[in-house]
Amino acid sequence: MKKICFVLLTTILCASLCACAADTRDSDKTIKIAVAGDPESFPVGYEDGIRRAQDDLNEKYAQSGYKVECEFYVDDGSYETGVAVADSLAADKNITAVIGSSDMEINKTAAHVYDEAGKPFIVPFFLYDSVYEENDYGTIFSMCASARIIGEKLCNATKNTNAKHWAVCAASDEFSTAEMNGFIRYASKAGIQIMDCVNADALENSFDEIYSRWETLGVDGAALFPGDADGFNMLKKLKKSNPNLVCGGDTAFDDSETLENDSELMGMMNGFIMIDAFAYDVVSEDGDNLDKFVEDYSKETGKSFDTWFLQGYNAVGMIAESAVSANTTDSAAIAKTLHNDGYNGLCQEFEFDEDGIQIMKKFQYGVYDKNGTVADIR
């Protein structure tokens, strides 16, 4: 009899302890977000956007009990360090979701690690197309267009130029190759002809020979996807050979610091078409006015505004707002909510397909003027 009572008492005690543990988890409304990457190489405004979102959301939900905490985990741009960080964060039960770094090699492995752990992995930078095309990940979300779409977007933009005979130069990495393929496959729709395709290293090492071929072929436009190669050096050589050559490329050319320190290069950027990594609205459907936000932001901080602020701000926002919307801090539930509902953020709207690819509703690009600034957003 004593033995039976002891067993019953133990069972009741264990059940009580489990219930208390469950209550503790349910009552903990802390949304802990890990931000991976190297702050030393963050785009201008990106980190500021993350910190601003944390403050704004904590103020917004102060009465609800929800609290947003963002913590930075430095990977130093090292694959080994980045994967070690991913393994650690995936195993950490306190981490609600992770914001990915700009390193596509790290993110390729990290995507698998976080999906296995069921954690939302939000990537504000580019991902290899193969990450979402070759897997059935349910927790990976890309905030940028795919490489193929980037190529298509640039090709679509050529319709607004007089150039009809194009050469394509791309690095040999996976992302640049996918951009090139997107450009080539869209050519017939854009009404242009692809006259030549060359590797970035080949153009660098055999420039005179290749450019001579382009002259013979009548090339009047060049699409540049340099990857980690020196795209500005390619552009300089091309423009010195033919100042009228129409050129375009991806965000490898989005480097205001380099342009500001090179007046010659700045002039050569005149007419350059640059495809944006992501899309945003000056005035959103909810009435958010980016121009007004920028004005207030500059007055408040004394800093110039960069649209990368939006990527950082909305990466935090989509995690936290999805959590509050679903009234949970459960990682899997947050991912499901984001898939089902998307996210309407600050001057950006996100809708994802079943693989986590952002559904791009518009094509957006900028055209540089003679001062080396993007003067025209289309």
User: Do 139 and 42 fall within a single domain?
Assistant: yes
State the residue for tokens 């926002």. Answer: 317
pLDDT at 235: 95
pLDDT at 9: 37
User: Do 79 and 187 fall within a single domain?
Assistant: no
**Token couple for 245:** 């050559």
User: Do 264 and 222 fall within a single domain?
Assistant: yes
- In the chain, the number of structural domains is 2
| pTM given for the model | 0.84
User: Do 240 and 329 fall within a single domain?
Assistant: no
Count of other CB atoms within 10 angstroms of residue 205? 10
Q: In whole angstroms, what is the distance from residue 221 CA to residue 195 CA?
A: 10
pLDDT at 287: 74
pLDDT digits (tens, 9 = 90+) for 97-133: 999 999 999 999 999 999 999 999 999 999 999 998 8
**Token couple for 215:** 């002259």
User: Do 244 and 303 fall within a single domain?
Assistant: no
**Token couple for 145:** 């267009």
User: Do 197 and 70 fall within a single domain?
Assistant: no
Task: Tell me if 269 sits within 8 A of 243, measured CB to CB.
Answer: no
Question: What is the arithmetic mean of pLDDT over 224-237?
Answer: 92
DSSP designation for 85: H
Residue 12 lies in a domain: no
User: Do 193 and 245 fall within a single domain?
Assistant: yes
Identify the domain containing residue 44 by its residue range. 28-145+282-347
Count of other CB atoms within 10 angstroms of residue 259? 20
Give residue 1's pLDDT band: very low, low, confident or very high (50, 70, 90): very low
Task: State which of 35-44, 212-221, 297-306 shows the largest mean pLDDT.
Answer: 212-221
Task: Tell me if 279 sits within 8 A of 350, measured CB to CB.
Answer: no
Mean pLDDT of the chain: 88
User: Do 369 and 240 fall within a single domain?
Assistant: yes
pLDDT at 371: 67
Q: Report the first-to-last Cα separation within the chain, whole angstroms.
A: 82
User: Do 368 and 220 fall within a single domain?
Assistant: yes
pLDDT digits (tens, 9 = 90+) for 176-205: 999 999 999 999 999 999 999 999 999 999
Q: Which of 19-23, 93-97, 208-212, 333-337 has the lowest mean pLDDT?
A: 19-23
CATH of the domain at 340: 3.40.50.2300
pLDDT at 290: 87
pLDDT at 375: 56
Q: Is 302 left (phi over 0), alpha (psi -120 to 50) or beta?
A: left
- Indicate whether 355 pLDDT > 90: no
- Indicate whether 322 pLDDT > 60: yes
pLDDT digits (tens, 9 = 90+) for 257-314: 788 888 888 889 989 999 888 888 877 777 788 888 899 998 988 888 888 999 999 9
Calculate ∠ Cα 178-375-246, nearest 5°: 50
- Cβ neighbours for 242, distance < 8 A, ≥ 6 positions apart: none
Residue 170 lies in a domain: yes
Residue 309 lies in a domain: yes
User: Do 163 and 248 fall within a single domain?
Assistant: yes
Give residue 135's pLDDT band: very low, low, confident or very high (50, 70, 90): confident
